[in-house]
Amino acid sequence: MSIKPIILIEGDPRGVFLELFLKSIKSKNFQSKLILICSKTNLIKTISKYNYKFKINLIKSFNLDKIKSDNNKINIINIELETTKFKKENNRFIKNYIENCFSMSFKIIKSGLTNKFINGPIEKEIFLKRKFPGITEYISKKFNQKKTGMLIYNKKISVCPVTTHLPLKKVIYSINRNKIQEKISLVNDFYLKYLNLKPRIAVTGLNPHCESILKFNEDEKIIKPAIETMKKRNINVKGPFSADTIFSKKNRKLFDVVIGMYHDQVLAPFKALYEFDAVNITMGLPFLRATPDHGPNKEMAGKNMSNPKSLIRALEFLDKR
């Protein structure tokens, strides 16, 4: 069976993605053919800036025979960025460009050519215009998938927030048994399907030490019953655990995934431990979507100082599946 190609889109054209992409393919060979969707002009400028010797293979149809596996050639589908009108902070043209890149990638995925997709980092405030909490929700809507979740993956331990990019004051009103059970189920199914592993799942509480001075304790009334329900479905899940100790060295050896109630509860300790050695994966889609676990990093663009490790990890993850 032939290995399906990996589709990549640039994301924010003001960011570091093309630099990271060139560093990634320079440092490592991948089995999967890579198809980059971006501005040809942008790519040529980036190749020239860093004195790389890559050649461009321009693709105009979804024909696998036209896609090269030569490590010195970059397969590209050109999406024009209106450079005559494009300025560093011209958000409307940036938004249109990113939308065109996404549209092309979704068309390719729906054609059946591949089920592997990476998007470069995007400044959510500009692209999403507050219509969606994050790119996970944006892509889920495009494919009519209501039950999806974010997994920040590392071989040693991964994390999954029940709520994603929500203001903290809204988190408490968004936590319920169904959402927690949904995330537990998504994590379990994803690990079984793509990693051939029944995961050991830990779930954090919402309150410090899983205690509350209020009459209603979410840890006892919502989180604990959700966990008990999923245990009855033969899922290896435990908790709720206090979030301030679950990432201790001893506890990290006991679990494969930590599910937390909100974004920074699990992302902050995870990034302190592993920094760029992580992949942002969307569970529950009809294809594999991964992305580097960092933002566009516009301030570092053009300085040749950005670390490609997270993109390399994303490529490695998809390359093996």
My answer on whether 268 and 290 are in the same domain is no
My answer on whether 114 and 48 are in the same domain is yes
Number of domains in the chain: 2
My answer on whether 123 and 244 are in the same domain is no
My answer on whether 15 and 136 are in the same domain is yes
| Confidence at residue 33, expressed as pLDDT on a 0 to 100 scale | 92
Q: What is the pLDDT of residues 185-232, one digit of tens each?
A: 999 999 999 999 999 999 999 998 887 777 788 899 999 999 999 999
Residue 86 has pLDDT above 80, yes or no: no
My answer on whether 127 and 254 are in the same domain is no
Q: Which residues pair with 2 in a beta bridge?
A: none
My answer on whether 107 and 162 are in the same domain is no
My answer on whether 141 and 289 are in the same domain is yes
My answer on whether 202 and 300 are in the same domain is no
My answer on whether 33 and 136 are in the same domain is yes
| Confidence at residue 87, expressed as pLDDT on a 0 to 100 scale | 55
Strand boundaries in 22-143, DSSP class E: 34-38, 55-58, 73-78, 116-119
Which CATH number characterizes residue 247's domain? 3.40.718.10
Q: What is the pLDDT of residues 45-67, one digit of tens each?
A: 999 999 999 999 999 877 766 67
Give the integer Cα–Cα distance in Å for 227 and 239.
Answer: 7
Please, which pLDDT band fits residue 247 given cuts at 50, 70 and 90? Answer: very high
Strand boundaries in 165-210, DSSP class E: 201-204
Contacts of 107 (CB under 8 A, 6+ apart): none
Q: What is the pLDDT of residues 108-125, one digit of tens each?
A: 999 999 999 999 988 877
Whether the bond between 240 and the residue before it is cis, its omega within 30 degrees of 0, is yes
Q: Nearest 5 degrees, angle CA 48-CA 121-CA 169?
A: 155
Tokens of 282: 């969307």
Q: Which residues pair with 35 in a beta bridge?
A: 7, 75
Q: Give how far Cα 187 sits from Cα of 142, 158, 293, Å.
A: 21, 10, 18
| Confidence at residue 166, expressed as pLDDT on a 0 to 100 scale | 86
Please, which pLDDT band fits residue 129 given cuts at 50, 70 and 90? Answer: low
Site of tokens 């329900």? 229
Please, which pLDDT band fits residue 88 given cuts at 50, 70 and 90? Answer: low
DSSP letter assigned to residue 3: P
Q: What is the pLDDT of residues 153-184, one digit of tens each?
A: 999 999 999 998 888 999 989 999 999 999 99
Please, which pLDDT band fits residue 9 given cuts at 50, 70 and 90? Answer: very high
Q: Are strands 257-260 and 116-119 parallel, antiparallel or unpaired?
A: unpaired
Of the candidates 283, 311, 312, 274, the residue with the CA atom closest to the CA atom of residue 295: 311
Give the integer Cα–Cα distance in Å for 207 and 176.
Answer: 14
My answer on whether 231 and 296 are in the same domain is no
Give the integer Cα–Cα distance in Å for 25 and 72.
Answer: 9
pTM of the entire structure? 0.90
- Residues of the domain holding 256: 149-282
